[in-house]
Amino acid sequence: MNDLISRKAVLKGISLSLTGQSDVIKAEAALVQYVKKIPSAEPEKAKRIVGKSRDGMTLWCQCDMCNEPVDARDDFCRGCGRRLIDE
């Protein structure tokens, strides 16, 4: 799984590490260390609600948080952006 981090936090780190640094190599090393310390921004999870017919065929799927219709193959809800997990 990919590790998600905030772009805002990375940009802040770039500005902080380049401020007052005369040596570019030191600035790059400081930036790498800052980015490694940024906590992961894993999105909240939501259940994929599946409506089925009596014979078990899937009729529809939706996000349990925002009730947005989702495709059975979607990893994230198009409405609220949460990671979808199957019940």
How far is residue 61's CA from residue 59's CA, in Å, rounded to a whole number?
7
pLDDT at 1 over 50: no
pTM of the model: 0.46
Read off the pLDDT of residues 19-75 as tens digits, 9 standing for 90 and up: 665 677 777 777 778 877 777 666 678 888 888 888 888 788 899 989 999 988 888
The structure tokens listed for 44 are 């909240």
Read off the pLDDT of residues 6-16 as tens digits, 9 standing for 90 and up: 767 777 777 77
Residue 71 has what pLDDT? 87
Residue 80 has what pLDDT? 83
How far is residue 79's CA from residue 71's CA, in Å, rounded to a whole number?
12
Residue 41 has what pLDDT? 65
Phi/psi of residue 63, nearest 5 degrees: -80, 135
